[in-house]
Amino acid sequence: MKFGILINEGPYQHQASDTAYNFVKAALDKGHEIFRIFFYHDGVNNGTRFTVPPQDDRNIQVRWSELAEKHGLDLVICIAAAQRRGIMDEDEAKRQGIDGNNIAPGFRISGLGQLIEAGIQADRLVVFGD
């Protein structure tokens, strides 16, 4: 089965990101395909490389980056939600006149069309968070 994943909540305020991560990992282990993982609303906060949790806590951003690298996952952050929360890639930072970027490895910024495409291409679109 081919899954599209939508994550609407931030990494440490809600269990949605942890649950989504575990779901994706289990689906991949069972041989399923993940078409795309789309981060929306506060979920875009999963994609900032400036997250530094305590040493004894899980680093959710690093988990996503490593899983994406290992399995070639498409991690997409909604551009509008990212801008509202100060998350930018190099191109967007230049366009906005900001002198740096903070997007984590393996993530990319794009629009809602990527979410629509995931819903069309996947057999199931699974939503995590409100």
The predicted-structure confidence for 5-64, as pLDDT tens digits, reads as follows 999 999 999 999 999 999 999 999 999 999 999 999 999 999 999 989 999 999 999 999
Q: Of 78, 81, 82, 122, which one is the catalytic site residue?
A: 78
How distant is the alpha carbon of residue 92 from its chain centre?
A: 17
What is the C-alpha to C-alpha distance for residues 40 and 29, in angstroms, rounded to an integer? 25
Per-residue model confidence (pLDDT) at position 107: 98
Q: What is the pTM of this model?
A: 0.96
Active site residue 55: no
The predicted-structure confidence for 52-95, as pLDDT tens digits, reads as follows 999 999 999 999 999 999 999 999 999 999 999 999 999 999 99
Phi, psi of 111 (to 5 degrees): -100, 180
Q: Which domains does the chain have, with CATH numbers?
A: 2-128 (3.40.1260.10)
